[in-house]
Amino acid sequence: MKRAIIVLLGVVFLIPATTSFSGECGDVNGLPGVDILDIVHLINFKYKGGPPPDCGTVTDIDGNVYQTVTIGTQVWMAENLKVMHYRNGDPIPNVTDQTEWNGLSTGAYCNYGNDEHNVATYGRLYNWFAVDDSRNITPEGWHVATNAEWTTLIDYLGGVSVAAGKLKEAGTEHWKTPNTGGTNESGFTALPGSNRGSSFVILGYEAWFWTADGHPAFENNAYAKRLIYSQESVGLWASLKYNGFSVRCVKD
């Protein structure tokens, strides 16, 4: 059997080649840094049936591979979700008709402008019913971030007034000028994938991300985070559940 070879702090590990991870990295437990905990992770994986090495990617049920990033104590996807099936294999409907989209009360996704070419860069847009579906739209071991988890992220990056700049991709390849404060210091690489409400809003100006939380007082609304091209601050919005927003996942 072919094997991948990992040398970690002077210890050699032979891992079956069928294991889905890059053997070139020493940080195999998804936590910052290379230390004795990475050795423990590998030993548990090889000899005790523990979780496989985690070298900075996660794969969804459709085979889409996402880069991940550790920010503080959290591990986030560094890309927007693209999946077209729930975790159990059931398809998430792709709804292109605007009237049908506006009337939905069940899960669905769309591509920005109903154009598949936008998916590679911006991912797909999901209504909140897909986010909240018990069949789960996230990869195993991951979940849609709650509002509290977004708050933890934002606080770690200095608070609401400055965090958006550290989350946004730097430059103006995708964000409209001036992309205020956009440094991507966090590695989160937020992109302005816009949204779909009563229509598609122009790309480049805003990034909208669903949280996993419905509004406690308004049944038709759920919480979302908004980043815009002209501000460093992060907005919290109660939005209608049929809207189509991007989704970021965080590791369990």
Sign of CA dihedral 10, 13, 18, 20: negative
* Amino acid identity, position 107: G
CA 196 to chain centre: 18
How far is 205 from 48, CA to CA, in rounded Å? 49
pLDDT digits (tens, 9 = 90+) for 189-230: 999 999 999 899 999 999 999 999 999 999 999 999 999 999
Q: What is the pLDDT of residue 56?
A: 83
What do you get for the CA distance between the two ends of the chain, in Å?
Answer: 32
Q: What is the pLDDT of residue 52?
A: 57
**Which band of pLDDT confidence, cut at 50, 70 and 90, is reported for residue 22?**
very low
CA distances from 16 to 19, 100, 112, 127 (A): 6, 48, 40, 40
CA distances from 106 to 22, 58, 242, 243 (A): 38, 26, 9, 12
* CA quadruple 208, 209, 210, 211: dihedral, nearest 10: -130
Of 215, 216, 234, residue with least CA distance to 225: 234
**Which band of pLDDT confidence, cut at 50, 70 and 90, is reported for residue 25?**
low
Average pLDDT over residues 20-24: 41
Q: Name the β-bridge partners of 222.
A: 214, 239
Q: What is the pLDDT of residue 28?
A: 63
Q: What is the pLDDT of residue 26?
A: 57
**Which band of pLDDT confidence, cut at 50, 70 and 90, is reported for residue 33?**
low
Check pLDDT > 80 for residue 50. no
Q: What is the pLDDT of residue 17?
A: 43
pLDDT digits (tens, 9 = 90+) for 135-193: 999 999 999 999 999 999 999 999 999 999 999 999 999 999 999 999 999 999 999 99
How far is 184 from 31, CA to CA, in rounded Å? 20
